[in-house]
Amino acid sequence: MGKKILITGGTGTVGKKLSALLTQKGHEIVLLSRNPKQNALYKTFKWDVKNQEIDPACIVDVETIIHLAGANIADQRWTKQRKETIIKSRTDSITLIYKLLKKNKHCVKTVVSASATGYYGDRGNELMFEESGPAHDFLGKCCILWEQAVDEGINLGLRVVKFRTGVVLDKESGALQKIAQPVKYGFGAPLGSGHQWISWIHLNDVTAMYAFGVDNEHLQGVFNMCSPQPITNASLTKAIAKQLQKPLWLPNVPAFALKLALGEMSAVVLESTKASSRKIEEVGFKFSYPHIEKALEEIYG
């Protein structure tokens, strides 16, 4: 039987695809947005995280909350103010919802939330498991605070599932679009040493895993959301070039140049994170795109 599901961040790349998938599976989707009139596909309620305002009607009959809201980490340079925005957009948003649940009768049982493999930071060739310790950099701090805010739901008696998401591969947005753009015009090149590991995942597997988290009520805790086959930056760039039938002839983009151009945000492309998908597979999740060749073929085919 379908559930009524409230999604934060439902207008983003993942949110749109996930809303469509869950609707196909028989669930009823409602969203939270600063501009609810802009969405005609789903019933949308207004919230203002900065001013801690939310329409209490958004939780009526809702059984599951999927928390995807958060400012894009790669949109702007990481100034002190931007870092604060990145963190608060993730933590203050779920805190606002929990405040609403505490004040009102509700039937919410489950919170499924995004997190990120940025939790682990730059760990070279070491394979990261869910019990591995966090990084002591900005992304590590962001993920710690994000997950701690989400875990407050446990004190409310909720089932809490957190997915530490890797690099989501989608043709129209995110890292793949940025890497593929110069490749298309014959100017592609690996970044930095090219040896840094990327824990990637196809967008379809992202939405399937969220649906898996919603439907399997025994699931709780934290899981890595990434393909069973991590890949280096150089290998990913070569795989994209092969799929697009373009040559790679330029030398690697030096790390110092990326640091000059992007500042601290260069960590997004230079850090090496090799995360294991073993835990989610052991509870029964099956990847449709475990290998990069098949994933890129579907994306560009």
DSSP output for 80-96: HHHHHHHHHHHHHHHHH
Residue 281: predicted pLDDT? 98
At 87 the pLDDT is 97
pLDDT computed for residue 193 by the predictor:
93
- Give the pTM: 0.95
User: What residues have CB less than 8 Å from 221, skipping those under 6 apart?
Assistant: 130, 160, 161, 162
Contacts of 31 (CB under 8 A, 6+ apart): 6, 7, 8, 10, 11, 15, 19, 39, 42, 43, 44, 45
Contact 110, 63 (CB under 8 A): yes
Pairing of strands 167-169, 64-67: unpaired
User: What pLDDT is stored for residue 36 in this prediction?
Assistant: 81
pLDDT at 146: 98
Is residue 233 within 8 A of residue 269, CB to CB? The reply is: yes
Long-range contacts of range 46-53, CB-CB < 8 Å, 24 or more positions apart?
47/93, 47/96, 49/88, 49/89, 49/92, 49/93, 49/96, 50/92, 52/92, 52/96, 52/99
| Bridge partner residues of 29 (DSSP) | 5
- CATH 3.40.50.720 matches 4-235+258-300: yes
Taking the C-alpha atoms of residue 19 and residue 27, their distance in angstroms, rounded to an integer, is: 9
Reading phi first (left if > 0) and then psi (alpha if -120 to 50, else beta), residue 61 is in: left
Domain boundaries, the chain: 4-235+258-300
Q: 65-90 as b/e, with b when 16 or more CB fall inside 10 Å?
A: bbbbbbeebeeeebeeebbebbbbbb
Cβ-contact 130, 281 below 8 angstroms: no
Gyration radius of the chain's alpha carbons: 19
Q: Which two tokens stand for residue 177?
A: 């679009």
Return the pLDDT at 241. 94
Question: Mind listing the pLDDT tens digit of every residue in the chain (301 residues)?
Answer: 799 999 999 999 999 999 999 999 999 999 999 988 767 789 999 999 999 999 999 999 999 999 999 999 988 899 999 999 999 999 999 999 999 999 999 999 999 999 999 999 999 999 999 999 999 999 999 999 999 999 999 999 999 999 999 999 999 888 888 888 899 988 899 999 999 999 999 999 999 999 999 999 999 999 999 999 999 999 999 999 999 999 998 888 888 787 877 788 788 888 999 999 999 999 999 999 999 999 999 999 8
Give the pair of three-digit tokens for residue 242: 């092969």
